[in-house]
């Protein structure tokens, strides 16, 4: 029988939680009985916390303005879980941005911001949560939002793809923290959210032709699955339209030697 990690009465921190996929995750967790700390750069995100509170009940969600590339601000966001709700149980590293193609980034500053947002902050936030959980008897779950582009190179946003590949490797590298701490990730294809509405991507980009965009709720379903099912640790679920979600077959940390043997062959 698979052990279940109940979401009810847990406390979750969600970076980039004020819009698109992040807000969908926040809503679902709140509806399942969790308390929510939402982080986002836009102060108007406070309205999103109010929206959840109006639907689910007072003091279900709070908002904290946060740029995840600011390490101190990110730590303050995560610490709010214990300061306001008394505990930290779930961290969803959702904040992310696309990178521009190299020819639109002559100084490299855009690529640096993409790496800082998508990867450095993800590692920083996870490490901070791990230190919190290591100091007590509490257990925790981290969900990293990766992308199928972590497996498929993209010429339009190569740095973005590289950060997602690194997020997948980071997730698998922490598999041995289980069962006390489980770190998992999802790797969805293009999701039908406003995240796509940037000039060099857009909804008519060639990589999106031939397949429909994912319904955000299909992705949220897998986030919940990775949180609740305690058999998942260091796992990545790949999500594509019209296909059943499937586990990534790349090795986990404890399988490294077998992986090295395979590479040498």
Tell me how far apart the 2 most distant CA atoms of the chain are, in Å: 58
CA distances 182 to 66, 174, 236, Å, are 25, 8, 12
Angle subtended by helix axes 158-173 and 121-134, to nearest 10 = 20
CA angle at residue 225 from 86 to 88, to 5 degrees? 10
User: Pairing mode, if any, of strands 246-247 and 236-239?
Assistant: antiparallel
Q: Residue 17: which of 6, 29, 33, 5 has the closest Cα? A: 29
Quickly list DSSP for 175-199.
GGGTTTEEEEEEEES-BSSGGG-ST
Contact 89, 33 (CB under 8 A): no
| Calpha distance 265→259 (Å, rounded) | 10
160 in active site:
yes
Q: Which helix (H) or strand (E) holds 246?
A: strand 246-247
* Count of C-beta atoms within a 10 Å radius of residue 257: 9
Contact 167, 185 (CB under 8 A): yes
| Calpha distance 146→165 (Å, rounded) | 8
Place of tokens 């995240």: 195
Where in the sequence numbering do the catalytic residues fall? 160
């Amino acid at each position: 029988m698979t052990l279940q990690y109940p979401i009810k009465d847990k406390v979750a921190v969600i970076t980039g939680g004020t819009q698109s996929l992040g807000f969908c995750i926040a809503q679902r967790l709140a509806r399942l009985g969790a308390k929510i700390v939402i982080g986002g750069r836009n102060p108007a995100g406070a309205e999103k916390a109010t929206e959840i509170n109006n639907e689910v009940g007072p003091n279900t969600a709070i908002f904290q303005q946060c740029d995840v590339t600011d390490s101190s601000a990110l730590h303050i966001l995560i610490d709010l879980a214990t300061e306001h709700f008394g505990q930290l149980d779930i961290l969803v590293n959702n904040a992310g941005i696309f990178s521009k193609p190299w020819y639109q980034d002559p100084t490299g500053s855009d690529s640096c911001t993409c790496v800082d947002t998508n990867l450095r902050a993800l590692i920083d936030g996870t490490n901070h949560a791990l230190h919190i959980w290591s100091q007590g008897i509490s257990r925790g779950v981290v969900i990293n939002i990766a992308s199928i582009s972590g497996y498929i190179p993209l010429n339009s946003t190569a740095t973005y793809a590289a950060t997602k590949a690194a997020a997948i490797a980071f997730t698998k590298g922490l598999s041995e923290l289980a069962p006390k701490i489980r770190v998992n990730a999802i790797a969805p294809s293009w999701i039908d959210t406003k995240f796509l509405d940037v000039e060099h991507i857009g909804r008519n980009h060639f990589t999106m032709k031939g397949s429909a965009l994912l319904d955000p709720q299909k992705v949220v379903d897998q986030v919940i699955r990775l949180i609740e099912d305690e058999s998942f640790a260091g796992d990545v679920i790949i999500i594509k339209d019209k296909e059943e979600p499937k586990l990534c077959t790349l090795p986990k940390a404890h399988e490294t030697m077998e992986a090295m043997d395979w590479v040498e062959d």
